[in-house]
Structure 1
């Protein structure tokens, strides 16, 4: 997916910006920006696309998005319903790395920091105790101004530079083509798939949205996502299936149908290929081990 270049609003002379957003749903177009972004999901659920990585997001997640890394956090369908009262809330810290690179980041003592910044270009999911510590530091940043805010960013960077609780999201070989000439086309396809993945949508349907032949669309899609159309669609469907199974709204067969599969055997096979678990194993795993501490997130919303 070719992303939109996104300009972060900032005041003159500001190298670190803290932004709290509360809206019906997150910005829904794939985009990128030169600033490094640390994003806290305070309240929201959906599917995240970071580089060539696809996964679910929910309240309490913290993600680091490196400079010029294409991404979008697409909320679940229920956020787009006309009568929905749901809110998508997040705290983001945007860091203008150019303000530091020629001096601070080039110091010999910044070796670990340089490695962290390099890894951030793949997108990082912060986990465990590190997540709790970063959450508290980010909440404090909302009240800090000037140089105190810069010091807080450096404290967070230092913590992340030495943490072993960071999951790299995008593949090491991902290299986005940032030509913006066909932004509208690829985002139209992206939105079509996200709005219709639970239906029986075919390759030809997506090709028609892009106004391309099927063969040309296959080449185009693989070039810009590093996935086939079928892989992309299955990852979205299985990601949604995982969410439904965790929420315990439907049984496995009903979940498969809800996610666009009319063949339970094919659903089971795709689920195993993508998650490394059968649907039954996944349900048992999350019934016994799925816990999450949202106390810090609740504080962020006060």
Structure 2
């Protein structure tokens, strides 16, 4: 479960590949030289790109730069989901984008991708529609569609930079701690009482050393991360129509007033408001389930 280099194979005669992976039960904390565009459609989930750990609702569209460590976006999802991933051949950027003057705006997009770029709004809608069209087109027309996608993103202001610093693999290459162990421990215990002393001993660090390590890797304390993970799980349960009190207890909060306060701080609205305002996501999840039958 150490950070690992993923070996990506792209078929001869192609400069990219588009596919629909499914790894929800597999922790893949990895990096690769290839740039990657990820679209996930799910009730709620967590993204981990570089040092950024954050949650998304309904869907997510992220461009990830070369050698930026990231976790598979479907890890631990408890609801049905759809995913489309585009991976670019390693020489796609230096051999095709850089030398071509007309791709100046796309070159600027790729130059910023090491931060992890999350797109939203109309940009995401347009890109996703084209991603879905690409899957049924031949190689040449798919490539033309891909250039249109890159141009849409390059010209868009509807984008969040997920990191504020360089988090490419050179920043992580000496990391010998098994982050997968930490994730699994939190996932298995977030509804109980995750103990920082216990997880520190599991990964063979003193509590103080583990806290320094964890803060360096995630820009959060262990408690902050656990609480964010709990709130992300709470979103999923609320969207599956559980009531607020049972959700708060299910994700590990003994005080409902603290659960409501923390939820509002992290999400921007109370659990009740969130459930009411996102009721349409229940229909989305039900539609996914019917599609799978």
TM-score, normalising length: structure 2? 0.82
1:89-104 correspondence runs (5 A)? 89-96=82-89, 98-104=91-97
**C-alpha deviation, 1:96, in angstroms:** 2.4
Deviations 1:233-292 (A, max 9, x none): 1111112222222332122x22211111112233233223322333344345435x9799
Q: Is the contact between residue 52 and residue 174 of structure 1 (CA under 8 Å) also seen in structure 2?
A: no
Report whether the alignment pairs 1:221 with 2:220. no
| C-alpha deviation, 1:58, in angstroms | 6.0
Task: Tell me, yes or no, if the aligned pair for 2:38 and 2:62 is still in contact at 8 Å.
Answer: yes
2: distance between equivalents of 1:77 and 1:102? 37
Alignment partner of 1:150 out of 143, 149, 162: 143
Partner of 2:188: 195
**Structure 1 segments (4+ residues) deviating >6 Å:** 289-294
Q: 2:82 and 2:55 mapped to 1: Cα distance? A: 16
2:8 paired with 1:15: no
Distance 1:38 1:181 in 2: 25
* Alignment equivalent of 2:204, drawn from 211, 225, 230: 211
Please point out which of 258, 261, 276 is paired with 2:253. 261
Q: Distance in 1 between matches of 2:246 and 2:282?
A: 24
C-alpha distance in structure 2 between counterparts of 1:180 and 1:54, whole Å: 20
| Structure 2 residue ranges without an equivalent (≥5) | none
Q: Output aligned runs, 1:65-80, within 5 Å.
A: 65-72=64-71, 73-76=73-76, 78=78
How many residue pairs get aligned? The number is: 286
Distance 2:174 2:196 in 1: 24
Q: Say whether residues 1:53 and 2:52 are aligned partners.
A: yes
Distance 1:291 1:180 in 2: 43
CA distance in structure 2 between the partners assigned to 1:21 and 1:189 by the alignment: 24
Aligned to 1:179: 173
Pairing of 1:224-263 with structure 2 (within 5 A):
224-251=217-244, 253-263=245-255
1:64 aligns with 63
Give the 3 Å change call, closer, same or farther, for CA 37–44 of structure 1 in structure 2.
Answer: farther
Alpha-carbon contact 1:256-1:264 (below 8 Å) kept: yes
SS of 1:46's equivalent in the other structure is strand
Question: Matches of 2:258 and 2:166 in 1, distance apart?
Answer: 29
1:166/1:272 Cα in 2 relative to 1: closer, same or farther (>3 Å)? same
SS at 1:220 equivalent? helix
**Residue 144 to residue 74, structure 1, CA distance change in 2 (3 Å):** closer
Alignment of 1:103-142 (within 5 A): 103-142=96-135
Match of 1:272 among 259, 264, 270: 264
The question of whether the paired residues in 1 share the 8 Å contact of 2:39 and 2:59 is answered with yes
TM-score, with normalisation over the residues of structure 1?
0.80
Query: In structure 1, how many angstroms separate the alpha carbons of the residues matched to 2:182 and 2:59?
Result: 29
Deviation per CA, 1:69-108: give whole Å up to 9, x if none.
Answer: 22222444647xxxxxx6x542211112533324533444
Secondary structure of the residue that 1:100 maps to in structure 2?
helix
CA separation of 1:231/1:291 partners in 2, compared to 1, >3 Å: closer, same or farther?
same
SS of the equivalent of 1:68 reads coil
1:163 to 134, 145, 156: 156
Deviation at 1:64, TM superposition (A): 2.2
Q: What is the distance in 2 between the residues matched to 1:77 and 1:91?
A: 15
